[in-house]
Structure 1
Amino acid sequence: MATPFVPKEALKFDGALLQELQGDVSDTIARDLLREDLPSIAPSSVIHDNGCGYGACTMAIMNSNPPENIKIHATDVNPIFIAQLQAKLDENPSWPVKIENMDACDLTFPDNTFNLSPGGTGIVAVWKEMPWHVALENAHHKTRGADEPMAPFLSKSWYKKERLQQVTTEAGWKDVKYVEKAAWLNLGADLKRWATIAWTFLVTPVGGWQQRDEDRWDEAIDAIATESSQSEWHKVEDGIHKIRMMALDDKNDTHYFLDINPDEAERLQLGELVIGDWMGGKRVWAPLDLSKPGLKFLDSATASSN
């Protein structure tokens, strides 16, 4: 079998580059959600960080002076994210965190591992504004043509407010509030370096790289860097390029506690939401299907509510 073509300019993926790409915007949003939007964590809470990514929510919890005897189960299907979080745990061996490689839509916890209770605060958080995302889309069209299918990440990475309104209305939510939270993504001192990382790992075309991608590589990188620098949400502080990202929090104070990890918002798809609550001293998470009225829990406990 022939080796898949890869442009010579493409970077070899590793965790350090991933951290450079994603910055700390997810950490900022996670801290804000814990501090401003969620009830206090009860002692002895059992927490499932579902789709944990590199651990933004887990780290936010552990850095928030949590109560005694909590336990965190952090799960993700991406081994690179798992390795990132494991490295953090190696630096903090006392953290009560267990990491497992697990699909958010196919949890393998035994029945009745977690307790679900009505009540609490519901939050769904997704990215509303990602100016760099638009720059990547435009570079894709410029170098690959308007008829070329959009790279998978770019085509599935975010929902707009209207989509959230649709699914929450169909789910029967009431008294929904929308709150915006801003965070600044550090793009580094060299915009073209960040653009190269993003183009390598986020914009791999459907069907794989082609020779035309190598031929027009510099054109794509220049386009991303130029558009990002010209965005109204771009700024430079101490020589570091930054661009503002805006998270949209969909909040419901009368239903189950709903949340989605900000670090996973870019891959949010229906059926990958999570549910939990602090009731009874435990926090509970499971994928949700909001495509029909009412809330349908998809974990092994097979609980449901309308």
Structure 2
Amino acid sequence: MDTAQTRSISEFNRELKLKGFNVFQIEEDGAATRTYSRKDFYKICLTTGKSVIHYADRSFEAEGTVLFFGNPHIPYSWETISTTYIGYTCLFSEEFLNVSERSNMLQQSPFFKIGGTPILTITEQQRAFLNTIFQKMINEQRSEYAYKDDLIRNYINLILHEAMKLQPSAHFDQHKNATSRITAVFFELLERQFPIESPDKPLGLKTAQDYAQHLALHVNYLNRMVKVATGKSTTTHIAERIIHEAKALLQHTNWNIADIAYALGFEYPSYFNNYFKRITGTNPTSLRGAGV
């Protein structure tokens, strides 16, 4: 990747972080649908081409134009098959939309909610209409209009309303190897919880039940698939990842133990101390000042 590309991506990330929103056109390349992955941004993609979309433990073969809704709490991946792939992508944070009670649409929408259907097959007429909406968002993003954020929120809600009028795609299939796929999305979701960037944003998913709910699976089914694939329980993997993060925070930040405990989902520092010692055999304070 050259310097110009690195600078462009850096500016793109900075703009997203500052404004909580970005929209752009995919020009003859499917890379934009799959290269940007942040755990705190929702995504709406209008794409034309041939691809395979893996969403939690389901897969969808798409050909033609589809409207895709990505929930940052549900792991997904996108395999572009056709050489020509065009469309639009809109990324936004929950905070960007959460300025009025309308934001409840995110949680209630059949596209973003857990267990929902995030893909719609779009006709040529519908594509033309949605293209116009995405282009309007791009134009507003570039404008100096003082209330452009409100206008963009209206466009996002318009897309959601238009989508709710349509029938969801019925071409989802269970992955051929359910064990490997479910295990893969569990680990992807696990990694999306890290790194912990601030004590003010504590770990959201802490138990096997939490992960099962986010993947719309029964916890016993998730545990069985992960244990078959790895030989370890879901709880063990979660604990190992929390401890790994705890060690990184202890060694590379100046946060106090109480802040680290809270950031990792422990109500009291004593709970964290006991948890850490039970798994590692030592106290968290012993790592303070330790070398990398």
Regarding TM over 0.5, the answer is no
Q: By percentage of residues, which structure has more helix?
A: 2
Higher relative contact order, chain-length normalized (CA < 8 Å, sep 6+): 1
Q: What's the TM-score, normalizing by structure 2?
A: 0.27
Q: By percentage of residues, which structure has more strand?
A: 1
Q: What's the TM-score, normalizing by structure 1?
A: 0.26
For the pair shown, the structure with the greater C-alpha radius of gyration is: 2
